[in-house]
Each structure stands twice: as C-alpha cells, then as structure tokens.
Structure 1
Amino acid sequence: MGRELQVRVATPEDLEWIHELRHRVYAEELGQHAPDPGGRLRDGLDGDNVYLVAARGAARIGFVSLTPPWLGRYALDKYLTREELPLLDEGGVFEVRILTVEPRWRTTAAAPLLMYAALRWIAARGGRQVVAMGRTELLDMYRAAGLRPVGRTVRSGALTFEVLTGSVSGLTKATTDRYRTTLGRLAAQVDWRLDVPFAPAPDGCEHGGASFTAIGTDFRTLQRRHQVVAADVLDAWFPPAPGVGAALAEDPDWAARTSPPAAAEGLLAEIAAARALPVEALAVGAGSSDLIFRAFGQWLTPESRVLLMDPGYGEYAHVTEKVIGCRVDRFRLRREDGWRIDPARLSAVVGSGRYDLVVVVNPNNPTGRHAPAAELRSVIAAAPARTRWWIDEAYLGYVGLAESLADLAATDPRVVVCTSLSKMYALSGMRAAFLVAEPVTAARLRRWTPPWPVSLPAQLAAVAALRDPAYYGERWQRTHELRRRLAADLAGLDGVVTVEESVANFLGVILPPDGPSAAQLVQECRRYDVYLRDLSPLSPEYEGRTVRIAVRDSAENARIVTACQAALAALRPGAAGPEAPAPVASGVATAGSAR
C-alpha cells in the first residue's frame, strides 16, 4: 500500500480550504457562528496559528489548529480573563483548537491522527501542557483521550464548551495506548511531513546526540568518525592531557583486566588535593548522570517538589518528572533578559518554602550563561532551610574554577555541587565525575555507591588529567578563541541567522520566524555529515527556532559553517531540492549531552 495519507503543516493553498471547511462546519452545521456571505470563516489568530492538515492523495480530509505560547495570546482570551484561567500564564502551554474533519472521513482514523500529530508537534517545541475547548456533549470522549475539565464553561453561539487541559506526556501516553494498533498501522502508511519523528523515543528522552548512531553503535564502522562532525554533543574538541594518554598506554592489557580500587580511593584523594577539599566531602560516579540518578533517587519521591531552570539541561527534567515522578516547576529564563538568572526573582520564588530541591546548572546548558557565584551564594543563604540546592558545574572551567561553590557545599548540608570530568577534561568516554557535599550527606551517598563505580582506565585517566591544570587552562582559552571565530562565521551567513555566544564550548543559532525550523536545519545538515542539536524540545522559550552547536577544531568548524550555508540555501522557499525535509528518523532530543 502506498503512503497516500499525508500529514503536513498547512500550505498557503490549504488555508482557503480551511476557511471554507470551518464555515461549513461551525456556521452551517453547528450554528456556532453566523453564516458569512463569502462562505469563509476566518479567525483573528489566523496569521499566527499553526495548522496541521491531513490529506489523502489530492483530497484534504481534516485539520487541527495550534496556538503556541510565544504568541502571548490565545483564543480562550476572548472568553475568559487570565484571573479566571491562570493556567494560560504558566510556561509551555499550547492551545489546541478546532480539530475538524470532513464529514465523509469522520469515521476513519483522521481525527486520532491529527490529535496525535498535534501532540508530536507540540512536544517537539518543548510543550508541557495543552489547553482546549471541548463541546460539552462530547466530554466523555475528551476524558478518554486524557483531557480533564478545569471547571470553566464557555458559551459560543449555539454551542457550550468545557475548558480542558492535560499534560503533553499524559496525552501522548493516552493516545498511544488507546490507538496503539491504529498508530502502528498508520506509521507504515502515512507520508509524515512534520519536522518531528512519528514516534517518541522509548523513554521519551534522547540521551546524548545522534552523531554516534551515524558512526555506528555496533562499532563495525568506526572509521566513520573521521567523516562525521559531532557538534550535537558537547564533548571536548581537544584531546586529554598528554599524561592521560601515557597512563593508559603504559600497560593497557593490565588496565583492562585488573579490578580498580573498589572505592576509587586514589581518585578521591587526587580530587581533594586538586580542589582543596576534604576527602570525606566527596563521592565519585561514572559520569554526572550516574550521580544524578543515584542522589535524586535517594532524596526525592513523587511527593517532592522540584524547581528547574527553563531552559535547562534535559536530564534533570527526565529524572525528576519521568523516572521519579516529582512535582516539577520551572523558573523561566528569557532570551530578552539575556537568559540571566535574576537573583531577586529566584529568591522570591524559592522563598515560598515549597521546594525540596532547586537545580542550577552553572554555566547553564543550553543557554550558555553563567550566574556569578556571589549572587548564588546570596540566594542560597536567604533560602529556607528545608530546600536543598544541586549546583551542576560541568562547564565551570570555561569560566574559572574560582567561581565554584564547592567550598560552600562541603560545609552547608543544603548544597551539593556536581562536577563532570567529561566536558572540561576531554574524558567523556571515560565516565568519571564527582560531587561535593557536607560530609554526612556525602557519606550517605557513598553507602549507596556500588563497589568499583569508576573503571580502572577512567580512574587512571582522571588522576592524570587533574595533575595537569596548565594544559587544560590553555585548552579552555583556545576554546574561547575558536567559539568567537565560529560565531563570526555563522553570523555572516547572509544575515539570516542570529548567533548567541556562550561562556562555554558551544553557541546557539537562532533562525528567523519566517525561515526553516531548527529541526529542518538540523536534518538538512546531516546530509553533509554535520550533526547539530535542535534545542526546541527542551523548552518552548526556543520557539522551535534555535540550534546549539558545539565548538570543534578549526577544520570541523569550517565544515559546520559550510553545511549550515548549504542547508539554509536548500531550505529557502522556492529553492531547488526535495519537496520536504527527509523524514526524521531519530528520537526527539530532550536530554543534552552525556555527562
């Protein structure tokens, strides 16, 4: 069977049909609106809404309308004030409207397909909550789909609607559970033209980037690493210190077959010496993800309330929301504020006393901004005693280790600092990290640490790396120079993109509202074996238009610029090339780089 059923973002040609179908259904059939002599029903949000269309061959069969939060207004604003419906002021709320299907197709899978497409599109833009108006007589159907009434009723023409809401993850689960067989069949039949994969990743999270998949996760085609530019993960562009290679090369057979020190005693002692910290305040793990899962699993329950920065490193949302099931709030960072953490506003939010844990990645990934240590110390000092702070300093070396809060963490039971050795020390493949906590807290975590948490090669490498601060200081400085050059070259691409520099080993590229989406640019660059990261799923603050690019060496940075230039040209309206972007095969990126 051919892929005759198609789902796409509406084209200008589709809009006339949408206006005509809306008139037939909502004016003539349902009496919600007065008939229009021209037989068209338009909307004040038409210029800003996103319409998704389902078609079979040349016949359009249905559509659904989406209103993203960055517009600052919703259709519901016509009926209710924000005081009456405060959820509209929460971050990440998308309005889903007027799911409409041609009469002859209403008994088919068209409506479920459009509902599913809307959820996938919203998830790809970082949406967390959906709001909708549902006809009162169909309330049971909406409940079965996972929506719940908020207790507000709206009258429009001859119809009465309930205001409904639901989480994107919950609605996606309800839809995939209820229509699993149908969706499985449609996956093989539908011509999916959206810039988001048809199916979500198995656990709803992509850990790391897609570049290793291009190299080959079965390790049979490792020579591909020389062709692939892995700028979708934030691994260092430089090699580890010379002493690392020497330590691993001295007797690799022995290092491979020998059990390491069971509690990584030598590594702990080296960290304590290098950072002037008491060894009893330390715990080590196989990367910071190991420490995050282990610590949060001990401290948090589904009843815990957690505050995350938004945008922020996606692994924290994954662990707290999807693994543990905590109640998670977001502290919204704004592009117009330079993504800065406003200490006064953060103090006011945390001062409520309702948070068990506040997570701050500093410098922040993916915004690339750094909050001065003095500001964070003041906020923490004024915070309630019951609130624990987790400070992730994976990229701090690019700012300066003097900005660390490790000394505070070693004495204050409310503060924990986590430091990955992956990004700063070019040891991502080794999997080594440590955290700093008041000794009683650190001891509890060590009790829940299995023996041999860090492999012998990783311990040897980490110790050697920590013994060569001069080498890494020079590499961090060189990274700044490479980043500035890459930023200047990208900013010169026909003036169509805006570049946001960071303080670390990456930068952001913002596409114009009338240009391609971030997902389209990422997908097109893969034709040139250049892998970038679409930040859209991390937060609606990115509006589906921001790509993160890791700093590589000069040659690979040049390939990145060339690929972006070619991709933007291919995606320009009217450009020769494929009618639509190649189908997206990988899962939605939500977590960020491996730590």
Structure 2
Amino acid sequence: MSNEQSGAGEATPRPRTLVQMLPSYSRSPAAGKARWVASSNESWMSPSPAALAAMADSVQRSNRYPSLAGDRLVAALADTLGLSETQVAVGAGSLALLGQVLAAFAGPGDEVLYAWRSYEAYPILVTLAGARSVEVPLDAAHRHDTAAMRRAITERTTVVLLCNPNNPTGTVLAIGEVESFLAGVPGHVLVVLDEAYVEFSGSSGDTVPLLTKHPNLVILRTFSKAHALAGARAGYLLGPEDVVRAIRKVAPPFGLSAVAEAGAVAALADTDYLLGTVAAVSGEREFLHRELEALGLRVPDSGGNFLWIPENGRRAADIERACAAHGVSVRAFDGEGVRVTIGPRQASLAVLAALDEPGTARCAETRQAVPTTYPHHSTGGAS
C-alpha cells in the first residue's frame, strides 16, 4: 500500500484545545524512592480489618457487576447520617464526584470560584468542564478569604468550591464562618463543601445539618483519608434531592467497584477503628507541629492529616530535596511552601532532621525521647 493510500504523512489526531491548557497534577520526584511517603496525604496505617475482610470476600464475586449506583453504600450512609437515600450519591472517590458536579452545573461561559492555593485538581476539572476558574488568594494566615470570595461572585458564577480543611494549608473554616459565607451566596450558585479531611478536624458532624438550611449546598467526603482506603477509591456526596439527581444522571454506569463498596460499608461501621486512626494522626500531627515551630518555622494549625510549611525564607524545592535525602518524600509547591503528610514517628524525625542543622544535639535528644508505635495500628513504612 502506498503512503497516499495509507494516509502516511498526513496530520495525526489532535486532542481538543482545552487539553493543551490543562495544568499537570504534581508528584514528588522522591515518592517512588523514599522510605516514608509523606507527599500524597495517604494514611500510613492499613484499613480497618473489617474493611479488609469485606473487600477480600467481595473479590470472590468479581465476575459480577456492582450495583448501578452503589446502592449498599448509599443506604449505609443515609442511615448513618440521618438522610434520605435520595440525598446521597457515591462514586470512585470524591474527585470523581466533583467531576460529575462540574459536568452537571458548569460549562462554557460559566465561572467556578475557589480559593488559591487549594486542591490542585480543581483547575484541571474546571478546565475539563469547559468553564473558567476564578481563583481568590488565601489571606495572610493561609485561610480562605471568604469576604473576598463573596465579592468575586458574578452573574457568571455557577459553582463555588470550599475546601475545608484546605489542602494543602490545612487551615479550617469554623462552622460559623461556613454558615456566614453561605448566607451571602446567591441561591442559584451551587456551593461545594469539600471535606476530604473533615474527620481530622474534629468537626465531622457539624455541617450535615446545613443541608436543610441551604438548598444550594452539597458536601463531598471520601474514604481515602481517615478510613485509609485511598487505593480502593470510594467517596460520597450529600445534598438536596434535585442536585443529587442531576449528579447521578451524569455518572458513568457502575462507577463504584463492588470491592470498594464492600470496604467502604465495613469501614463506615467500624467507628472504633476510625477513632483510633484519627487519634494517632492527630497526636503525631501535634508533635511534628510543635517540633517544627521549635526550629523557628511558622506552621499554621492544621485540620488535616498533614502540615503546611510556608517557604519562610527557604525554597520549597530545597526543603523537598533535604527531606528526600533523609528518606521522606514531601510535596513542594514552588514559591509557596511544602506539604508534609503525617506519618509514623520515624518519618516525623526524618523531616525534623532534614530541616534542622545536621547532627545537632536537639534532634538526637528528640529521637531518643519519643515513642514509635501506636495502639492497634500498623506503622509500616508508607505514610
């Protein structure tokens, strides 16, 4: 066959123009080499034994499709949270559900408003929806500037994203601040309260009652963080029936795997294990925060399973390299700061050694004085 007949030399398929505009999701260059992975906000502890057993059992029936809309998990969440099943949608992580929200409520000509810096997937998903991102800078304390966000809402705004606790800074809007913000948002604008880390903030039950007061509110949560099911991919959305109905319409069929659903249902029921995980993470977060400040670093209080180290005169890339040299991968945001996922004590000590002068007595004393195990939880190398 000739080149003319085969089409050789002709233009190759080209992706849509917006694909060229997509920012890349970052990754620590040390993530695949480090002893402790503190760059992806994963749990260093394994999932609940009940969740592991449920997933193993589910694998035996992998020849069958899962339910169309994650019916078992929807029912379990509705029962646990005191909601109707028509107010709950589930999917392959809260990120997938956010993509559905934007597919249903944002498109060409629309604006999606969010704080910045915040979760780096936001501009990717907004661009994919064909909408325009409107980024409102955080305030000097690395928190959402809710007054500035309200002022930035225009007639083209269709969705506002509130990441609370905020990723990567860990800062938290109190329930009163969230309510005050909602009161100032026009009713036709959908507010998405992204609570991926809410269990670590101590306020996991506070926002659900807001759904009855604000029909333009939806809440996103995940099993990836506190429930330690990041690899299974399960998340959920809570909201008004009409909003949930629209989100389900744009969902791909069988979007939640049967294995993930089984693990999530079991993890949801194992509240004792969840409380133990949260207590272990919170305790280690307090230790690392205290020790970082003892080194002279200004670190904001965090409601997540991570801490934010603003550059404070030291380049984020330099901090990332220093931590990698001590066996820890962290996430650098060049020109802004570094996010460190909370891990076992050995990982915290490695971060402190990287940020301190090598071999100082203070680090050596700290290393000898702290525990390295946590009750009924594994402390494996990955964090």
* TM-score > 0.5, shorter chain as reference: yes
Aligned partner of residue 498 in structure 1, secondary structure: coil
Residue 460 of structure 1, aligned match among 247, 252, 262: 262
Please list, as runs of the form range in 1=range in 2, the aligned pairs for 1:101-500 lying within 5 A after superposition. Answer: 203-206=22-25, 209-210=28-29, 212=31, 214=32, 228-249=35-56, 251=57, 253-320=59-126, 322-335=127-140, 338-350=141-153, 353-409=155-211, 412-493=214-295, 495=296, 497-500=297-300
Give the whole-Å Cα distance in 2 for the aligned partners of 1:305 and 1:567: 48
Aligned partner of residue 522 in structure 1, secondary structure: helix
Residue 558 of structure 1, aligned match among 346, 349, 366: 349
Aligned partner of residue 379 in structure 1, secondary structure: helix
- Of structures 1 and 2, the one with the larger relative CO (CA 8 A, separation 6+) is 2
TM-score by length of 2: 0.81
Give the whole-Å Cα distance in 2 for the aligned partners of 1:450 and 1:568: 54
Aligned partner of residue 487 in structure 1, secondary structure: helix
Deviation digits for residues 518-554 of structure 1 (CA, Å, limit 9, x no counterpart) = 1122134323431111123xxxxxxx15111010011
Contact residue 27 and residue 331 of structure 2 kept, 8 A: no
TM-score by length of 1: 0.53
1:262: Cα distance to partner?
A: 2.6
1:458: Cα distance to partner?
A: 0.6
Aligned partner of residue 102 in structure 2, secondary structure: helix
Aligned partner of residue 499 in structure 1, secondary structure: coil
Give the whole-Å Cα distance in 1 for the aligned partners of 2:152 and 2:311: 32
Contact residue 23 and residue 123 of structure 2 kept, 8 A: no
Give the whole-Å Cα distance in 2 for the aligned partners of 1:208 and 1:421: 21
1:491: Cα distance to partner?
A: 3.3
1:244: Cα distance to partner?
A: 1.0
1:162 is aligned to none
Q: RMSD of the alignment, in Å?
A: 2.7
1:326: Cα distance to partner?
A: 2.4
Deviation digits for residues 382-406 of structure 1 (CA, Å, limit 9, x no counterpart) = 3212211111011111123455433
Q: Which amino acid aligns with 2:53?
A: A
Give the whole-Å Cα distance in 2 for the aligned partners of 1:428 and 1:283: 18
Give the whole-Å Cα distance in 2 for the aligned partners of 1:408 and 1:398: 20
Give the whole-Å Cα distance in 1 for the aligned partners of 2:303 and 2:144: 15
Aligned partner of residue 263 in structure 1, secondary structure: coil
Deviation digits for residues 12-65 of structure 1 (CA, Å, limit 9, x no counterpart) = xxxxxxxxxxxxxxxxxxxxxxxxxxxxxxxxxxxxxxxxxxxxxxxxxxxxxx
Contact residue 373 and residue 403 of structure 1 kept, 8 A: no
Give the whole-Å Cα distance in 1 for the aligned partners of 2:79 and 2:87: 12
Give the whole-Å Cα distance in 2 for the aligned partners of 1:298 and 1:209: 32
Contact residue 113 and residue 160 of structure 2 kept, 8 A: yes
Give the whole-Å Cα distance in 2 for the aligned partners of 1:511 and 1:402: 30
1:347: Cα distance to partner?
A: 3.8
Task: Identify if the C-alpha distance between structure 1 residues 424 and 448 changes in structure 2 by more than 3 Å, giving closer, same or farther.
Answer: same
Q: Which amino acid aligns with 2:121?
A: E
Contact residue 277 and residue 410 of structure 1 kept, 8 A: no
2:308 is aligned to 508
Residue 547 of structure 1, aligned match among 338, 346, 351: 338
- Which residues of structure 1 form unaligned runs of 5+? 1-169, 174-201, 216-226, 537-543, 570-595
Give the whole-Å Cα distance in 1 for the aligned partners of 2:26 and 2:333: 13
Task: Identify if the C-alpha distance between structure 1 residues 528 and 256 changes in structure 2 by more than 3 Å, giving closer, same or farther.
Answer: farther
Aligned partner of residue 225 in structure 2, secondary structure: helix
Q: Which amino acid aligns with 1:426?
A: A
Q: Which amino acid aligns with 1:242?
A: P
2:379 is aligned to none
Task: Identify if the C-alpha distance between structure 1 residues 553 and 281 changes in structure 2 by more than 3 Å, giving closer, same or farther.
Answer: same
Aligned residues: 342
Give the whole-Å Cα distance in 2 for the aligned partners of 1:562 and 1:286: 38
Give the whole-Å Cα distance in 2 for the aligned partners of 1:284 and 1:568: 49
- Which residues of structure 2 form unaligned runs of 5+? 1-16, 361-383
Give the whole-Å Cα distance in 2 for the aligned partners of 1:466 and 1:208: 29
**Greater share of residues in strand:** 1
Task: Identify if the C-alpha distance between structure 1 residues 297 and 358 changes in structure 2 by more than 3 Å, giving closer, same or farther.
Answer: same
1:565: Cα distance to partner?
A: 3.7
1:233: Cα distance to partner?
A: 0.8
Contact residue 240 and residue 427 of structure 1 kept, 8 A: yes
Q: Which amino acid aligns with 1:339?
A: H
Task: Identify if the C-alpha distance between structure 1 residues 451 and 552 changes in structure 2 by more than 3 Å, giving closer, same or farther.
Answer: same
